[in-house]
Structure 1
């Protein structure tokens, strides 16, 4: 099978350039068309949404049924619940509950490292938690299922594409509910760094997957429109799994149900059409439809989104219809279905503005629950086309009003599925055997594949930190990779200690060739360019003299470079305080980057640190580093130029070096705090229409002025609290004074 690495564009097609009629996604049965003998597989599902600790939700319901089906078929199933949240019973209860059903349910535990604080940490914690756990069971699983939602599997997939881990594991990404799609459906803006991070990683999860499975063509077409590079030949449309034993068809009963209660069934938010539901009923009342006719009971059955204001809608509905509206927000998935089935006259109404492959429709079809649903999204793909005129309505208040008028007058027909539940389950199970039987992705060497051990030049930037330079040099000399040369570029050091250290290095003999290049003080861009000019290696590892390489850094970079064909590699790092990394290990924090998320470059650096590994010819092709004196963000500007020039950039999800903090940085003295930001804007705005270029400049300025580059960027309350802490810090008596004022106002007797 083709490599899953999304860099290999010859294994993918750009579907965005095709006409919509040309987009054809096969079902799983078309891939696994040959029956294979059964063999038990070891299958893992990684999710933060699962029925039990989570009351309800489409992703959790789909994975719960999938786990059951796979387990009942004889496979070993492990569910890594990537969360500590439990709103129902306890996590120990659900561990025992699923164990009785032969499913290993493992709640998340603390990760083995402390992550550094920063604007990306909140979104990277979940993917890192999944990677941290999965690495402990690396050789165990044949297939791993994970949703693109929240990018839980991002770092796991990044680790596989790097060639470092999971080479024998097939990753199946379920397309469920991308954040951008959700925001568009709820008519919400993108106004925070975390959203940009999540949207990037969700798309990459789909693009890096070994296989992609989606319940609807609709969502895949949406992804194509948004520029996703879907895996060619490995992207499937298949209905979600539903155990045949849970299907209940009411034999001998009328297929027409007299409506006694309308139940809004779904999350209570704009995207699910709650406004349409209220408007349709209010309009029917205003048109006189209920004159002389009994108003049916109205129930809202679903969770309320935290930011959604439900109370005004309920008040409007009750005032218009003159009835009490019942709201159930805390029913679990089984309890919600029990409620719908308890009385035959209850009709589920699902007026979504956009939906992927709604599990509410699956459940109503399987349980013979009467329902109507909107034409928006992929819901109607699950319904037999002959039933569309009766149960599928146009996604508008008027469309829903016409549908409600019809079913209230004539009864609601029971719809039938467009697919056979039993056949779909059989195809799904057979496909797992087929997928596990495919050859694992083989490592493929890039252009340097004939160079088994390419020469690597380690270029160390130095300025007036002789003692630290010795440590940095020592860390390079301890590398497990031995085909190295070391180039130290001194940027005009003036202190006696540094000058002596440089002289001693030139006189000493080392296991690798070591050279010292001296130049006038010209700052970091010029330092790195001098290193490029002096280097003889096929690859260059750039280092600053205050950081230290871990022993496997170069070996790891060389391996990943050969596997990915990347031109520029970055990685994570571990921080340390003091003279050596082992001085205060309890203060170490891990810095995690995302990779080539260009959308975030206006606000912060998602690519990685200047401690990067580059192909020498590639970096020379784009002219090396730009040279500005005492202007920061040289690394971010370089990564942006490299990306826009077509170089392939990859972030290795491993901490390969030690990053020193609380020391004088080479970039501390700058002419302007805005200069680096302007520097990054230059390659971004080059060649753009002036108006668009100015829009980017404006956006960058607004982000910088309003704190969007800080760790609390997406948290206004956090910024307020931080400002308060600073005030208190500058005035030790302010808090005491505030207490006195409070007591004087509210406790006058004192």
Structure 2
């Protein structure tokens, strides 16, 4: 079977993401079973070696890694993935709901445009609304509504949805997601070569917070529990934080820990550089226990890896965590999600030693279940719509633009769809050349059975388009501007999508081009500016997510919705589409770029005054005000309030250090040293050196804190004198006189007074 796994998270380019681990592990298992496996990575981002390195790395494992090198917002990455995949022939495509990377795949298949014989499989891992809810984060922009729409659509249009936990299936259903009939639970797989062991027990002296350093992973609760342990007179000997540094409120989690640790009387460290196998080896060292303190989890790899490797751990009983742990072991390693319960369990563990736990399922059998899923065809046959192709009436308004109009008409004449009529309405053009050109069109239109109508006075766009629609004979209306250029298969694609999807209104992608000259010879497949989605409805109250005025609509639906309003203002398309959406009409947006949109200085939107803009937007607000109360309206109001709270509580302006960079570790190391916590300062500086191993100044600073390799003192040159002097002062303050004397001698050799 030819299988593609499409993921924005990938082991190798990304250090230790859970989604990347899941997709890479599945790819390894499928390749080992003899399948032809491709990993598709849409982005160009790497945290480690160049992507070319990882292409060779995966090739050595029998897996083809394809890097698409796309950039931009989530929907642009998803659209790039669609265009790449539609030209290839896979039996099955796996994708995650996270960031909606599969959104356009399921839309294209629903619209009959691609993937007719391909199974589309969505894995549920981390919906953004779920993550934001349990991370206690306000909405920062309208992008959250868009991302949630992309994610939800990815799952709802799939043939099969797979969740690693029953909990997440229940959560998305309660959130209103309409999942396909086939929605199953299959726990995640472990990477190839992951060594499984029996659970180990023994004394514990070091607590290891295991997970990303952020609110949802329980960092605040863990620090509170440590404080309770100190109050109870039972502190740990050492604490290590193992995971990427995130944010806590408006500050770095690293700085948050530094503030919390001011009351600690023991050293602490952070390791943010380890991959899956490195983290396992770190945790397996004697005397350590992993603490997984999450506020909420789906099916965390942190727990699965500890269970499989026999590593001692404690975890919050939340989300899908308990589904991973054998029922008889849950009472020993799981705790209620409170600081008091965690502190009590930690004190007991330090006193009695680490408890052991086993997985709730057989890891080998789980692997076989994943493989069995791919032993039979997964895609159901999809019949082609029957019946005669419907007539499509292209409704076009024009005013004093005969040169551009000629190009637009030529693109209509080039359509591949057999049943098209053009209804052209002149909005009382005043230019003699334009009127003469219209006269010349009469015989051409008559020969084709097309219609040319003229307004007795200028009525503006809404009324002129309505007149074209009223005269149209087609089952479908396609509105088109007189300066746009249609792709030859525009009408054919729209009709195909309408008949396959049962959508009542369809929009599409489009390509901007500038000037009054000829348009592009070929319309590129990727839009170069706006990417409409056809929704979501709540976003439609703030911006137009639906599409441009160049849309296809069933004529009866257009009439039932009352046609366009006739204000002498813009945004009649946005207003109409919002009215349609709030009335429950089905709107679909094609992933194909079906026309070129001309931008010129005389265009209405570009020449709009502030007064015109206000009048036009009031037109949209009228559609909002007229809409009946609905869940979509409530969602829009909640989103607006959420964004307002974000504005009140957003961080102050100014430069911030990269969360996971060496500079951030140096800053917190300096703060620890200022408090007299030399061992913690050394631990943090050592981590800075791991992140920038070639930085000799950092290595000298580490030597000054009593760490590192003293032999490096022999390599001190003039360019490192400031760092060397600082290291010398630190060594003397620490009483490490032997190292201080060696460094002083080196400085004297360079002719510098230490």
Equivalences for 1:327-726 in 2 at 5 Å? 327-341=270-284, 343-434=285-376, 437-443=377-383, 445=385, 449-450=386-387, 452-508=388-444, 512-519=448-455, 520-578=457-515, 579-582=517-520, 589=528, 591-629=530-568, 631-666=569-604, 668-669=607-608, 671-686=611-626
Of 269, 280, 283, the match for 1:326: 269
TM-superposed CA distance for 1:627, in Å, is: 1.8
Question: SS of the residue aligned with 1:592?
Answer: coil
Q: Tell me how far apart the structure 2 counterparts of residues 207 and 695 of structure 1 sit (CA, whole Å).
A: 19
Query: Contact 1:590–1:655 at 8 Å: present in 2 too?
Result: no
Q: Which runs of 5+ in 1 are unaligned?
A: 1-40, 112-120, 708-713, 719-750
Q: Tell me how far apart the structure 1 counterparts of residues 353 and 256 of structure 2 sit (CA, whole Å).
A: 26
Name the counterpart of 1:3.
Answer: none
Name the counterpart of 1:239.
Answer: 187
TM-score computed with the length of structure 1 as normaliser: 0.81
Equivalences for 1:237-316 in 2 at 5 Å? 237-242=185-190, 246-250=194-198, 256-290=201-235, 295-305=236-246, 308-316=251-259
Q: Does 239-248 or 678-687 show the bigger shift?
A: 239-248
- Assess, with a 3 A threshold, how the Cα gap between structure 1 residues 243 and 660 changes in structure 2: closer, same or farther: closer
Name the counterpart of 2:731.
Answer: none
- Assess, with a 3 A threshold, how the Cα gap between structure 1 residues 634 and 443 changes in structure 2: closer, same or farther: farther
Q: Tell me how far apart the structure 1 counterparts of residues 63 and 637 of structure 2 sit (CA, whole Å).
A: 53
Name the counterpart of 2:666.
Answer: none
TM-superposed CA distance for 1:181, in Å, is: 1.2
- Assess, with a 3 A threshold, how the Cα gap between structure 1 residues 166 and 511 changes in structure 2: closer, same or farther: farther
Structure number with higher relative contact order (C-alpha < 8 Å, ≥ 6 residues apart): 1
Q: Tell me how far apart the structure 2 counterparts of residues 345 and 603 of structure 1 sit (CA, whole Å).
A: 55
Deviations 1:448-507 (A, max 9, x none): x42x22111111111221221121111101111121111011222222122212222124
TM-superposed CA distance for 1:442, in Å, is: 0.2
Query: Contact 1:301–1:329 at 8 Å: present in 2 too?
Result: yes
Query: Contact 1:340–1:346 at 8 Å: present in 2 too?
Result: yes
TM-superposed CA distance for 1:312, in Å, is: 3.9
Q: Which runs of 5+ in 2 are unaligned?
A: 656-754
Count of residues in Structure 1 that have an aligned counterpart in Structure 2:
643
Query: Contact 1:573–1:658 at 8 Å: present in 2 too?
Result: yes
Query: Contact 1:259–1:296 at 8 Å: present in 2 too?
Result: no
Query: Contact 1:575–1:658 at 8 Å: present in 2 too?
Result: yes
Name the counterpart of 2:132.
Answer: 183
Does the alignment pair 1:220 with 2:134? Answer: no
Q: CA RMSD in A?
A: 2.9
Query: Contact 2:538–2:633 at 8 Å: present in 1 too?
Result: no
TM-superposed CA distance for 1:683, in Å, is: 2.7
Of 60, 63, 70, the match for 1:103: 63
- Assess, with a 3 A threshold, how the Cα gap between structure 1 residues 562 and 65 changes in structure 2: closer, same or farther: same
Deviations 1:328-369 (A, max 9, x none): 01112221111112x132111001001111011111111101
Does the alignment pair 1:166 with 2:115? Answer: yes
Query: Contact 2:480–2:550 at 8 Å: present in 1 too?
Result: yes
TM-superposed CA distance for 1:57, in Å, is: 1.0
Q: Larger Cα Rg: Structure 1 or Structure 2?
A: 2
TM-superposed CA distance for 1:169, in Å, is: 1.0
Q: Tell me how far apart the structure 2 counterparts of residues 715 and 161 of structure 1 sit (CA, whole Å).
A: 45
Name the counterpart of 1:114.
Answer: none
Deviations 1:377-431 (A, max 9, x none): 1111111122121111111211211221221222221111111111111111101
TM-superposed CA distance for 1:315, in Å, is: 2.6
Query: Contact 1:463–1:666 at 8 Å: present in 2 too?
Result: no
Of 61, 74, 86, the match for 1:135: 86
Question: SS of the residue aligned with 1:125?
Answer: helix
TM-superposed CA distance for 1:89, in Å, is: 2.4
Query: Contact 2:76–2:531 at 8 Å: present in 1 too?
Result: no
Question: SS of the residue aligned with 1:658?
Answer: strand
Deviations 1:663-690 (A, max 9, x none): 4224545653222222222232336579
Query: Contact 1:123–1:197 at 8 Å: present in 2 too?
Result: no
